[in-house]
Amino acid sequence: MKRINLIIIAVLLSLTAFAQHQYDTDFTQTRFMKVSGKTINKAGHLVFDGDEQLSMTYTNPEGEFFIVDGMQVKMNMDGKKAEIDAQKVPMVQLQRSTLLNCLSGNWRQAAEENNAETSVTEAKGLRTVTLTVNGKVPRGGYSSVELTYRLSDRKLIKMVLVEPIGTVNTYEIK
């Protein structure tokens, strides 16, 4: 009986390790605003510990950042600074959770929290997961999310977040 328990624990630990990824890499962001037709290109460095610590420090434009430290979200984006306790602001909590779940490979959890349907395809060494919200998009949520993971190491290499107003943020992770 002890051996079976040890096997079960080992399997659970390996599944957790499979889902949790760490990143210390550069990224690019392309933001397309449907209303104005304007595209903004940004670049920076991403550090993610696989749990609840995320830091996106921008090198272009220099000085911008987006940081998740547990439930605290700190940002300096587009000239606006904020420090928010995500537990007190549901829309920030949803955005925080969606980002962390997508980076760590827990896209099923992101789909559940956003009331989204999922579709998964695999081709040429990549897994593409699309989350599409059913009905009304939750406040602060995304109408759709497209995630591309490398099958070889299960790392996220591209994330496309579509806001309800049509703004599209595309992150490419090196």
Fold of 22-173: outer membrane lipoprotein receptor (LolB), chain A (2.50.20)
Instruction: Please give the average per-residue pLDDT across 113-126, as a whole number.
Output: 95
Q: Which of 173, 162, 153, 167 is nearest to 132 (CA)?
A: 162
Delimit the domains of the chain by residue range: 22-173
Look at residue 20 in the predicted model and tell me its pLDDT.
53
DSSP 3-state of 64 = strand
Report the distance separating Cα 120 and Cα 49, nearest Å.
25
pLDDT at 30 over 50: yes
For 63-112, the pLDDT digits (tens) are 999 999 999 999 999 889 999 999 999 999 999 999 999 999 999 999 99
Q: Which residues contact 34 (CB under 8 A, 6 or more apart)?
A: 165, 166, 167, 168
List, in sequence order, every residue forming a beta bridge with 42; answer none if it has no partner: 29
Reported confidence tier of residue 17, pLDDT bands at 50, 70, 90: very low
